[in-house]
Amino acid sequence: MTTPKVEKLLINYKTLEKFKYFKEYGNQELSMLEDLQNNIVENDSESPFYGIYFGNNLVARMSLYTVKAKYDKFFEPPQDYLELWKLEVLPAYRDQGYGKALVDFAKSYNLPIKTNPRINSHSFWEKMGFQKAKYDMERDLGNNPLIWMPEGVTEKEV
Ligand SMILES: CC(C)(COP(=O)(O)OP(=O)(O)OC[C@H]1O[C@@H](n2cnc3c(N)ncnc32)[C@H](O)[C@@H]1OP(=O)(O)O)[C@@H](O)C(=O)NCCC(=O)NCCS
């Protein structure tokens, strides 16, 4: 199988319409739509989302933010890292490597990655080489973050 092509998604009405097919559709998408409607962002400006198209359909997506080193509470030494969320593959397209392709794309930046996994997705993340962050009550509250580290990076002691 050829590696699926990961694309940076643009903020436009077409993309926002396709987002409605994903379960994790909420404030982030709605505020992007509002920004577009109110001309706060331009049509075709860049979003924090990356996705994979199959023909005309957006079949997988994730949101990726860079968190600045000064806010890093996970890694040693403190450094810029990626916050990955809203990873989702549409049901008919699962188990075909799209989820992995998106995670591999995030890893290709060679920065540490943090994600808050959804219930039942632990074995997928384990396969992707993610591990549980040591629980820090103040930092994590109710979350159970998972992290991935490129070579040379270690987890911060809590
Ligand atoms: C989790 C999710 C992103 C995975 O995407 P995907 O495209 O189906 O995954 P891939 O095809 O890239 O799978 C990569 C590897 O992870 C494995 N895998 C995928 N989903 C898995 C799961 N739920 N549990 C365990 N392993 C899983 C695959 O078998 C594959 O293993 P291999 O490399 O040994 O063949 C996708 O299932 C999804 O969007 N789920 C949303 C709903 C959800 O979170 N459900 C909870 C269960 S994950």
55 φψ region: left (φ > 0), alpha (ψ -120 to 50), beta (else): left
The protein residue with its alpha carbon nearest to ligand 1, atom 4, reads 99
Could you write out the DSSP letters of every residue in 121-136?
Answer: -HHHHHHTT-EEPPP-
Note whether residue 118 is domain-resident: yes
Q: What are the pLDDT tens digits along the chain (158 aa)?
A: 678 999 999 999 999 999 999 999 999 999 999 999 999 999 999 999 999 999 999 999 999 999 999 999 999 999 999 999 999 999 999 999 999 999 999 999 999 999 999 888 999 999 999 999 999 999 999 899 999 999 999 999 88
Note whether residue 148 is domain-resident: yes
> Among all chains, which residue has been given the structure tokens 């794309």?
105
Ligand 1: residue of 50, 95, 125 to mutate (most ligand atoms within 8 A of CB) is 95
How many domains does the structure of the chain reveal? 1
Range of the domain at 98: 7-155
| Atom nearest to 89 CA in ligand 1 | 39
The protein residue with its alpha carbon nearest to ligand 1, atom 36, reads 89
User: Residue 46 is inside which H or E element, if any?
Assistant: strand 45-54
Note whether residue 43 is domain-resident: yes
Q: What is the pLDDT of residue 118?
A: 86
Note whether residue 2 is domain-resident: no
The protein residue with its alpha carbon nearest to ligand 1, atom 30, reads 95
Note whether residue 92 is domain-resident: yes
Note whether residue 126 is domain-resident: yes
Note whether residue 1 is domain-resident: no
CA–CA–CA angle 149, 151, 157 (5° rounding)? 55
Q: How, if at all, do strands 113-115 and 81-89 pair?
A: parallel
Rg from Cα positions in the chain: 16
Phi and psi angles of residue 137, each rounded to the nearest 5 degrees, phi first? -55, -50
CB neighbours of residue 30 within 10 Å? 12
Q: What is the pLDDT of residue 119?
A: 82
In the reported structure, the alpha carbon of residue 55 is separated from the centroid of ligand 1 by a whole-number distance in angstroms of 21
Confidence (pTM): 0.94
Note whether residue 81 is domain-resident: yes
Residue 72 sits in a domain whose CATH number is 3.40.630.30
